[in-house]
Amino acid sequence: MSRPGVLLDRDGTIIADDGYVGSVERVRFLDGAVEAIAALNAAGVPVAVVTNQAGVARGHFGMTDVEAVHAHIDAELARAGAWVDLWLFCPYHPEGIVTGFARASWDRKPGPGMAYAAAEALDLDLSVSWVVGDRPSDIGLARAVGARPIHIASGAAAPGDPVDPGVTTVPDLATAVALVLSDTGARPDRLPTSGFPRARYESAGFFAHDYSEELARALATVDLGELERAAKTLLTAYERDAAVFACGNGGSASIANHLQCDHGKGVRTGTDLRTRVISLSTNIEVISAIANDMGYESVFRFQLESLARPGDVLVVISSSGRSPNIVEAMECAHALGLQTIALTGFEGGPARELASASIHVRSDNYGVVEDAHQVCMHLLAQYVRQSRIAPDLVASTVF
């Protein structure tokens, strides 16, 4: 089903328009722009950047320079847990000097090409979408495709450029986004519907590049305060000889088993800790017996009732956070006096709400979520381990 989205101009809207920005060194974010994009992401509003880059046609820089600038912007956005769902740019100009790019283009704003491409890739209904930019060409694009324009008065418009008096004008992107969110009634805590992949790839190399960027964005959404809480929970549990249990289904079961290895053998190596770590996902005989006699939803709860003691810790790994056996295990853990750590993705489900420490990865791709969970499992193990190694030996220790 088509949905509303936001098409953003780049120069003068997200970054300063200092004239043909074709290198990373010249990128300067406008105040509040990163936070504004993060707000759209958090509200589940797709974000596409549609930008004219005539500097390619005019010979100021090349296509790879534009892509490098966009990769740099992506990296900076990821540090704030933000992202652009789709980058589109037009390198053509009829007055260009570079062969192959010196021509008119349907994609060059106010032409509609990039807007239609964004609508197809992100499943947007342009009639209920917005175009936000600082130039008359941005307003023209909105008019061409029936979208709603918002003009940013950045001062970058050329002298004499007319601004349609019927268009809402705001001082910056943050104000524009506030208008968008108030109009949609979007909830900031909704799962962003970014989706990956958004189209079929013909190159494994390009897929790998974009997948790694998607993983970086997902990791950047993890709440570091919750990660700190989880690390402290594990470290204190190991210090007082409490047991740590882990469980998950499918790919998450392999992470639970891997946790037993790295938090058991790994954390113990070179430290004074004698960790007791047990994966509830590893014993197929016990699991199948419980599932056969009582139901699969009880496979972790039944084991906890036999093995756990007050003060122990349960770590659950669940991409959806909705698996009945995970939820039942967490409810059992709380009843038995255990602390709980949940690694979740998608919207987090009940597991996200039940956890004492919630490590939530904001992504709707199972592979990305599981990779991010594996990273979090590893970094928790290594953090705990280095906490118990003499400071002068940390740098010489292989982790």
Q: What's the sign of the alpha-carbon dihedral 255, 258, 260, 263?
A: negative
What is the DSSP code (8-state) at residue 343?
E
Tokens for 3? 């949905």
Taking the C-alpha atoms of residue 217 and residue 207, their distance in angstroms, rounded to an integer, is 15
Taking the C-alpha atoms of residue 191 and residue 372, their distance in angstroms, rounded to an integer, is 17
Say whether 11 is catalytic: yes
Catalytic residue among 9, 85, 134, 172: 9
**Cβ 242 vs Cβ 311: under 8 Å:** yes
**Cβ 95 vs Cβ 127: under 8 Å:** no
Catalytic residue among 11, 85, 138, 172: 11
**Cβ 344 vs Cβ 359: under 8 Å:** yes
Q: By three-state DSSP, how is residue 85 classified?
A: coil
**Cβ 134 vs Cβ 12: under 8 Å:** yes
Specify the pairing of strand 86-90 against strand 47-52: parallel
What is the 3-class SS of 140-198, one letter each residue?
HHHHHHCCEEEEECCCCCCCCCCCCCCCEEECCHHHHHHHHHHHHCCCCCCCCCCCCCC
Say whether 107 is catalytic: no
Report cis status (omega within 30 of 0) of the bond before 4: no
- List b or e across 264-286, with b for residues whose CB sees 16 or more CB atoms inside 10 angstroms: bebbbebbebebebbbbbeeeee
**Cβ 385 vs Cβ 399: under 8 Å:** yes
Helices (H), the chain: 33-42, 63-79, 113-122, 136-145, 173-184, 204-220, 224-239, 251-261, 267-268, 284-294, 299-307, 324-336, 349-354, 366-387
Which residues are marked as active site?
A: 9, 11
